[in-house]
Chain A
Amino acid sequence: MKRWWAVLLVLALSAWAQGTLKVGVVVSATGPAASLGIPERNTFPLIQEMVDRQGGVAGRKVEFVILDDASDTTQAVRNTRRLVEEGAVAIVGTATTPASLGMIPVVAEAKVPMISLAAGKEIIHPVDAQRFWVFKTPQTEELMARAIVADMAARGVKTVGYIGFNDAYGEGWARFFEAELKAKGLQLVASERYNRTDTSVTGQALRIITRRPDAVLIGASGTPAVLPQRTLKERGYRGLIYQTHGVANPDFLRVGGRDVEGTLLPAGPILVAEQLPSTFPSKRVALDYIQRYEAKYGIGSYSTFGAHAWDAWLILKPALERALKRADPARDLAAFRAALRDELEATRGVVATQGVFTFTKEDHLGLRFEDAAVMVRVENGRWKLERVFR
């Protein structure tokens, strides 16, 4: 008799387990990319709460298996492999471009759809045999560069100077920015580089000033982006100064202080969600996310990076619902993963916190810069909405 009970229990447990959808998550909760990864990790408990309250997806429980990659590519790849073997229906993550690139061959080989939370365009472009399985939510540099150049053109800027990090970030920006300038007929008169750890950029600043550009873009992220701006101002530059969305954090304002007043930068609309016009499509979704995040982690605690994880779920959920009609993950996991990928690609007009997602066979980012970027100005140490493009 006892044995029968045990068998029954095992059957019941496995039936329950079969009903659960496992979503693998890789985040950089520690290491240099932690400032991106921690808000992303913090977002998943919010998603879990929401899903549980709604009774799961199409009646099935959803379980998020979250692994930390310590901002390390090797660890991200190892985590991905483990999540795939544990039967994850999809992988979400991770925050950095190199680590995301490392994960692509793994998910492509195992035929598991993946939604990256990193910025680099090369993660989803071109959509080849491997990237067939890969989607992503954050805006690319290209998208943001388009917003900057559109803003410059609207202000009648003719000549532009550039100073950026002497690494992948600064080079990527230089490339997309230059291409975008050429397309709009603006002239790049100086292109300088500096290092995150540099203590002086006087030489570069003087070089730029001698060319007298109408505007300067600083292709840097975080607090090291302050130094060129301060040096340009100290050396008497009076033109417009643009930064990238890599500075959209409170630390930049804290270190920059008066030196960064008037800075123009492109940003995901969630940065200034409450200032958006009520017709802006993502305003309601963004405010909803912020409210949930701040209710759990405190006022002012949210950052734009966690919103990318929220967006990944907003895309994943309807795709899961549709895929569940076509295949049963408990019976045939491979078929379900393939169906889920097709349904992800079929995503049309999903309004999320950072824009409106419409994927196609050639476009696995699915954002238009008009919906996904706004121009922001630093005013009295706060972000102020300057321009929307739609």
Chain B
Amino acid sequence: MDATILGLLLLDGVQNGVVYGLLALAMVLVFAVTRVILVPIGELMMFAPLSFVWLQGGKLPGTLWLALALGALWALLERGRGRGLPLAGGAGLLLLFLLARGNPALAYLAALLLVVYLGVATYRVFFQPMREATVLALLIMAVGLHVAYQGLGLVFFGPEQYRPDPLLQGEATVGLTWQGVLVLAFALLSAAALYLFFRRSLFGKALLAAAENRLGARLCGIRPEEAGMVAFAIAGLMAALSGLLLAPLINAAYFMGFMLGLKAFVAAILGGLVSYPVAFLGAVLVGLFESFTSFYASAYKEALVFLLLVPALFYQSLRAKGVEE
């Protein structure tokens, strides 16, 4: 192995790693606030670029009807003035989609907002009614949603891949496109933003408080339901943006979310599902590990990557004091 190859592998590893990192950040965020392990994050991510491709082609994607249906359920669950948000959001979304057909800029925005709306509706309809349940019950719900959303993705978009045009054309250096630079920049920016949000802003601290102690937070005037919705909205936004930025590099298809989500999960576990910087570093580590194993032993790559979980879980279980439930 010479220096060029080493450099290219490192670059490839970091590029993949930050993508896992983005999803891992969203996972840690959602887990911290709601105790939900957001397995369907990969599917939320997949919906964005595929909806965008559909809109660009002048068609209304099936995800729109899914979002509106969940929005309607959300509205039914709310009382009085609480119905304003889902109804107004749904109507706005429908209008935006009708306007965005064939208009790339509006379609980008529409796909983004669709996933955010869908993320919040998912929380309100599926997770909030069972917010007192155990982590395990929430995880089972999340896995179920992952399977359902992936299946719906296949129904909406078919089995083949699509490749939207990149925002930026061309290569920055050998092995790194400008679009890749964009993804890197976005990842670092959102990692920093999340860090600041939870450490510096009152609202971020309120979210964390709601996660720590629901009753205590309520006594301080924080609504845990609202906190959950905000967490899902942020996760949806991050998933949608990374999906839209990544799709030109890796081709979007209904199955793209699962593996990305799973590897993000490995990274999030490396960070103990609590620490943003460690989860992000863990994600880059997973990416690098993957890049080098695909060079040396490509047939065993996935097995080796998931083997990383074993020492991480072992370490976590040694470190953990007491039992959570």
Contacts and interface: CB of A to CB of B under 8 A. Distances in A.
Contacts of B298: 163, 166, 192-194, 203-204, 207
Given A203-B12, A203-B295, A223-B253, A195 B259 contact: yes
B9 interface: yes
Contact-size category for B = 35 or more
Nearest to A199: B250
Nearest to A202: B12
A198 B246 CA distance: 13
B299 A193 contact: yes
B51 interface: no
A200 interface: yes
Interface string A103-120: 000000000000000000
B291 A255 contact: no
Given A34-B159, A193-B298, A197-B256, A255 B251 contact: yes
Given A202-B12, A226-B161, A235-B8, A194 B294 contact: yes
A45 B201 CA distance: 66
A203 B161 contact: no
Interface residues of A, number: 31
Contact of A202 (B160, B255, B291): B291
Nearest to A32: B159
Contacts of A35: 159-160
Contacts of B149: none
A307 B15 CA distance: 43
Contacts of A166: 298-299, 301-302
A279 interface: no
Contacts of A201: 294
Contacts of B296: 203, 207
B258 A197 contact: yes
B126 interface: no
- Among A34, A194, A206, A222, the one with the most B-chain Cβ atoms within 10 Å of its Cβ is A206
A192 B293 CA distance: 11
A226 B293 CA distance: 21
B5 interface: yes
A359 B299 CA distance: 38
A199 B260 contact: yes
Contact of B291 (A197, A203, A224, A235): A203
A201 to B, nearest CB: 7
B8 A206 contact: yes
A251 interface: yes
A224 to B, nearest CB: 7
A255 B160 contact: yes
A255 B295 contact: no
A103 B15 CA distance: 46
A210 interface: yes
B147 to A, nearest CB: 14
A227 interface: yes
A197 B9 contact: no
Contacts of A292: none
Interface in B272-325: 290-296, 298-299, 301-302
Nearest to A210: B5
Contacts of B294: 194, 200-204
Interface of B: 5, 8-9, 12, 15-16, 19, 154, 159-163, 175, 246, 249-251, 253, 255-256, 258-260, 290-296, 298-299, 301-302
Given A199-B19, A199-B249, 12 more contacts: A32-B154, A35-B160, A193-B298, A199-B256, A200-B15, A200-B294, A201-B294, A202-B8, A202-B294, A203-B294, A203-B295, A210-B5
* Ranked 8 nearest A-B pairs via Cβ: A203-B294, A203-B295, A223-B161, A202-B12, A199-B250, A251-B160, A193-B299, A197-B259
